[in-house]
Amino acid sequence: MNLPPAVTKIISSRLFRQASHMMGWQALTKCISFFAAIWSARCLGPENLGKSGLVLSIVAQASLLTTLSIEALLVREYKQGSPERQQHLIEIYTTLRVSISIVFTLIALLVAATAFRDSPYFWGILVGIPYYLINANNASWLLMAKENMPANSRSAAVTSVAIAVLTFTFFRPYQPAFSDIVVISIASFLGFILAWKAADDRWLPRIAKLSLLADGARLAWEGRWLFLIGLFAYLYTSLEQPLVGILASAEDLGLYRTATNLVGTLQQFLLLIPTLLYPRLIEWKKKGIKPFWHRQLQIALLLFLVGSLISLSSFILAPIFYPILYGPAFSGAAIPFTLLVTAKCLILVEGIFSWGLLALQREKRLLLLMVITASIAVPLYFTIIPRYGIIGAAATNLAMEALFFAMCFALSWKLSHKHQNESL
């Protein structure tokens, strides 16, 4: 089959080869972790899996508030800074994250000792704290800035294999709630130290310096729009997970978690391309908005075709294989899984345009799109989840991704036609 020259150029590029290598590296380990996740779900059961899922959702929220979602700003500053500025930036952001982490950890311990002392979630909070500290202080932004995402993939692969080994070794039917969080924390720490070794030639993050807190506050203020973007993105992409546990039941959240876990494994592959492209997008914008826009369209078309095949396959295969893999108790999660897969395939394409807007330094406009989407999503989640459960949650997630994709594309198109003869 003869491909268009533009598509052939993309496929033969170093970036595409790097992404292909990373995907190949992860494929085998993800297969192992895929079966480990199934075994974990079977051993825990829907209800215990849901309890763990609620704790992990809270960890995700706390991590968002700790990292401040300013990775795009950090990468941009790092790429444009001198070697001295780069080292100083690492120290500032490390100090900022460690300081916030300590505050949140103390709050979590206080809440566990008072409000949840006699609750089963007491132990969930305690085992969730180590995972939060690991998740909130990882080296992914620095690896992205150094265009060393293969190291990030290797770190994720080690984590996946460690989770699988620990799960198959220690998990048995009727496993207690929160056991999976313990396993995830231990395995994530291995990936954590490997990532920092690759990013900064040290096994752990640098020591926080109180003298840099003022600089950290200025950095956080400079990235306030990115933080708000991340916050509102969470509201429409992930808020439904804890809401399922709160508005429906822990058992429903357990079912939904199997779908989100499977989709999360797929998402790690799908989102590699937009993440890898961001440093390149910064370089491409220097050539002018018109070639920048054409490059986006070429890549988006290729990713749309890939995403369409993945989505169609999930609708055909999931209802057949889901009960076989997880057992009859989890068969109700098959349809939500297919809807979430389609949503993530939309994110794959949308990421080309949203990261492009960040490369063009249109954070405020991107934030406006996030606010619009989240303002619609949150009331819908509260209305639909109590009535339609996990299918309603997944369908709303898909609808919101479609809305955000349409708005990102429209804004990118508008910018390209408004300034197509200008050089950025």
pLDDT digits (tens, 9 = 90+) for 179-188: 999 999 999 9
Which one, of 417, 393, 284, 403, lies nearest residue 13 by Cα? 284
- Please tell me the total number of residues recorded for the chain in this structure: 424
Q: CA-CA distance, 160 to 157, in Å (whole number)?
A: 5
By the 8 A CB rule, do 175 and 48 touch?
yes
- Is it the case that residue 336 has pLDDT exceeding 80? yes
By the 8 A CB rule, do 249 and 317 touch?
no
Q: What is the pTM of this model?
A: 0.80
- Tell me what the mean pLDDT of segment 283-306 comes to: 83
pLDDT band at 292 (very low <50, low <70, confident <90, very high): confident
DSSP states of 70-124? -HHHHHHHHHHS-HHHHHHHHHHHHHHHHHHHHHHHHHHHHHHHHTTTTSTHHHH
Encoded amino acid at 287, one letter: K
Question: Cα 415 to the chain's mean position, in Å?
Answer: 27
**Predicted pLDDT at 367:** 86
Q: Which residue has the tokens 């249109």?
A: 362
**Predicted pLDDT at 32:** 76
**Predicted pLDDT at 322:** 93
Q: CA-CA distance, 149 to 145, in Å (whole number)?
A: 9
Q: For residue 5, give both structure tokens.
A: 């020259």
Q: Which residue has the tokens 């807007």?
A: 357
Which one, of 168, 151, 155, 109, lies nearest residue 133 by Cα? 109
Question: Terminus-to-terminus CA distance in the chain, angstroms?
Answer: 37
pLDDT band at 424 (very low <50, low <70, confident <90, very high): very low
- Of 185-189, 249-253, 296-300, the range with the lowest mean pLDDT is 296-300
Q: How many other CB atoms are found less than 10 A from the CB of residue 130?
A: 18
Question: Cα 7 to the chain's mean position, in Å?
Answer: 27
By the 8 A CB rule, do 422 and 288 touch?
yes
Which one, of 1, 41, 404, lies nearest residue 251 by Cα? 41
Q: For residue 214, give both structure tokens.
A: 């003022």
Q: CA-CA distance, 241 to 239, in Å (whole number)?
A: 5
- Tell me what the mean pLDDT of segment 190-208 comes to: 95
| Torsion sign (Cα): 75, 77, 82, 86 | negative
Q: CA-CA distance, 352 to 316, in Å (whole number)?
A: 27
**Predicted pLDDT at 1:** 46
Which one, of 393, 304, 314, lies nearest residue 345 by Cα? 304
- The residues, ordered by sequence, that sit 6+ positions from 272 with a Cβ below 8 Å of its Cβ are 19, 22, 23, 149, 153
Residue 354 CA: distances (Å) to CA of 98, 288, 349, 421: 29, 18, 9, 22
Of all residues in the chain, what percent carry a pLDDT higher than 90?
63
Which one, of 403, 404, 71, lies nearest residue 227 by Cα? 71
Q: CA-CA distance, 198 to 138, in Å (whole number)?
A: 12
